[in-house]
Amino acid sequence: MSSPDLAGTGDPLRALLRDVHLLAPDQLSAVVAAHGRRLGAREIVIYLVDYEQVLLQPLRGEGVPPRQELSVEGSLAGRAFRQVEVVWSPAHSRTRRLWVPLLDGVERLGVVEIVVDTATATVEDEMRALVGLVAELVVVNDNYTDIFAQLRRRRTMSLAAEIQWDLLPPLTFASDRVVISGALEPAYDIGGDTFDYAVNGPTVDLMVLDAVGHGLPAAVLASTAVGAYRHARREMRDLPDVAAAVNDVIAGEFSGSRFATAAIARLHLDTGQLRWVNAGHPHPLIVRDGGLLVPGPCKPHPPLGLQLRKPDVCETQLRPGDRVILYTDGIVEARSPAGEFFGEERLADFVHRASAAGDPAPETVRRLMRHVLAHQADHLQDDASIIVLEWRTGDERRLEP
């Protein structure tokens, strides 16, 4: 690898932008480390979180000091990731180490470790700016390489899971009006479960879907359903027509024994009106003021692929701060070794307690999925997927999503 050209440049961040213009993805960590030294950093190491969000994996490169993987639960790096805040090492050594969350918006990609001689607010601000730029470079380069995807996997991923992960939107989105965070498990073997969303001006569209079966056949059905859903959504169709379009594609392209349950929802951000179609799926849950609400009445319809007419639309009025949970039955039907279901009450209680503790939505969902897995002794009998949505008025001015 040729060394980055650092001569004759003033602003290190502008110099970095110039040098990465034609940069191969495998050179990113080395070039970031070199430019970081111009800002006064002794060492810089990029860590990406794995698919299960359990470990932080170092991105190696020429001139980058060797590092081992770090636990999300038991390290300073993990604390920076979990709490989405800069974490400094204790001040008892000649140099200081800070861990900065690597964020694409509010989507947590990992953390960046930075070793400096002095710990000041100015240093922290400069390093935050550098890490913000690094996050954008990771996202952009991820479209051109397998290096980051390979680093993030801890074991072999099934073909079905590969398809599903590539189909997903970012796991987290946040604005002053809405926060959306989702997850899939088992990360390396997911088959028929998936979700999708889109934020389009004053509306948010969401879908959680559970395709019948397992493995590759279920993944193919789910990917077809998501494609049909996005096409109908982008044609600006109303919810019954969106559901009908997905139903017709599944019925036309797959045999009569193949179908998918789904919750297809639309939230109007200005009013808090939530509308949805229930296609043989678990009903949405609302966590409000610490309590569990089941909106209704709502007529369920057959799964997508088996419907004979357009479904009816259900609706409810949200209040500011409400958290809406769309999920597949693998969440609430996760069964402990003693035979106890995880259940709706435990699900809602976990989301409420996490919110009360100040956990941001992405961390709430991450911890929830670990909790579901632990309840089932780390072995899910069925795929499990979830979206947690929080509606806001825009007046909360909270610092964390």
Q: What is the DSSP string of 316-383?
A: EE--TT-EEEEE-HHHHT-B-TTS-B-HHHHHHHHHHHHHHTT--HHHHHHHHHHHHHHHTTT--SS-
Query: What's residue 3's pLDDT?
Result: 45
The alpha-helical segments, DSSP class H, found in 196-307 are: 215-234, 239-253
CB 47 within 8 A of CB 56: yes
Query: What's residue 10's pLDDT?
Result: 60
Indicate the pTM of the whole model: 0.87
Query: What's residue 239's pLDDT?
Result: 95
Query: What's residue 401's pLDDT?
Result: 44
Residue type (1 letter), 79: R
Query: What's residue 7's pLDDT?
Result: 43
Cα Rg for the chain, rounded, in angstroms? Answer: 22
The CB-side HSE value for 180 (13 A sphere, CA atoms) comes to 23
As a whole number of angstroms, the distance between CA 129 and CA 122 comes to 11
Query: What's residue 222's pLDDT?
Result: 94
As a whole number of angstroms, the distance between CA 210 and CA 175 comes to 28
The CB-side HSE value for 69 (13 A sphere, CA atoms) comes to 15
Phi, psi of 194 (to 5 degrees): -165, 170
As a whole number of angstroms, the distance between CA 235 and CA 252 comes to 20
Burial level of 237, CB count in 10 A (0-12/13-18/19+)? Answer: middle
> Which residue's entry shows tokens 């900065």?
100
Residue type (1 letter), 364: T
Cis link prior to 186 (omega < 30° from 0)?
yes
As a whole number of angstroms, the distance between CA 330 and CA 382 comes to 5
Residue type (1 letter), 116: V
As a whole number of angstroms, the distance between CA 273 and CA 280 comes to 22
Q: End-to-end CA distance of the chain, in Å?
A: 40
Query: What's residue 396's pLDDT?
Result: 52
Could you tell me which residues are beta bridge partners of residue 338? none
- pLDDT by residue for the chain (401 residues), tens only, comes to 444 444 445 676 777 777 777 778 888 898 888 888 888 888 999 999 999 999 999 999 888 899 999 999 989 999 999 999 999 888 766 788 999 999 998 899 999 999 988 878 888 888 888 899 899 989 988 988 999 999 999 999 999 999 999 999 999 999 999 999 999 988 888 878 999 999 999 999 999 999 988 889 999 999 999 999 999 999 999 999 999 999 999 999 997 788 999 999 999 999 999 999 999 998 999 988 878 887 877 888 999 999 999 999 999 999 998 999 999 988 888 888 888 888 888 888 888 888 788 788 888 899 999 988 888 887 777 788 999 999 987 765 443 44
Residue type (1 letter), 2: S
Residue type (1 letter), 148: F
